[in-house]
Structure 1
Amino acid sequence: MLVTDVAQLEAVGLNLFFAAVFFLIGMSIRDVLNKGDVPPFGRGIVWLVLFLGCAGFIAKGIIQLVWEGAGIG
């Protein structure tokens, strides 16, 4: 394998790792919310915060791809 292939494999693996971590966090939060009898407003706030965290990572990835493609970063 070439060095570029290894770097690309590492990048894909890291992205999959983050996706798995967010999935597991979501499952654990769902379990805690169900067992804790949290009201609907509180559930909405918790899911909004989790979604914004995921959206931040996605936005970071998109910005990174655009900047690297343009030769900025």
Structure 2
Amino acid sequence: MLAENYELIETIMLYGGLTCLFVLMAFAVHDVLARNNVPLIGRVVAYGVLGLGALGFAAKGIIELFWVSAGV
């Protein structure tokens, strides 16, 4: 295998692993909020923070993709 194939597999596994971690965090937050009868505004804030973290991660990947394709 070429070195570029290793890099591609490493990148895919990194993004896949981080996606799995975000999903597991969402399940954990949902479980904690459901067991403690958190009001709606608390749930919105908790899910909003988790969602913004995931959105920032996705934005970083898109920006990185544009930079690599532009040769920066």
TM-score after normalising by structure 1: 0.97
CA apart distance, 1:42: 0.5
CA apart distance, 1:28: 0.4
CA apart distance, 1:34: 0.2
Higher RCO (C-alpha under 8 Å, 6+ residues apart):
2
CA apart distance, 1:9: 0.3
CA apart distance, 1:60: 0.1
Q: Which AA in structure 2 matches 1:24?
A: L
Residue of structure 1 equivalent to 2:13: 13
Residue of structure 1 equivalent to 2:37: 37
Runs of 5+ unmatched residues, structure 1: none
RMSD over aligned Cα atoms: 0.3
Runs of 5+ unmatched residues, structure 2: none
State the distance in 1 between where 2:63 and 2:44 align: 28
TM-score after normalising by structure 2: 0.99
State the distance in 2 between where 1:63 and 1:36 align: 38
Structure 1 runs of 4+ with >6 Å offset: none
Is 1:69 aligned to 2:69, yes or no? yes
% identity of equivalent residues: 39
State the distance in 2 between where 1:65 and 1:36 align: 41
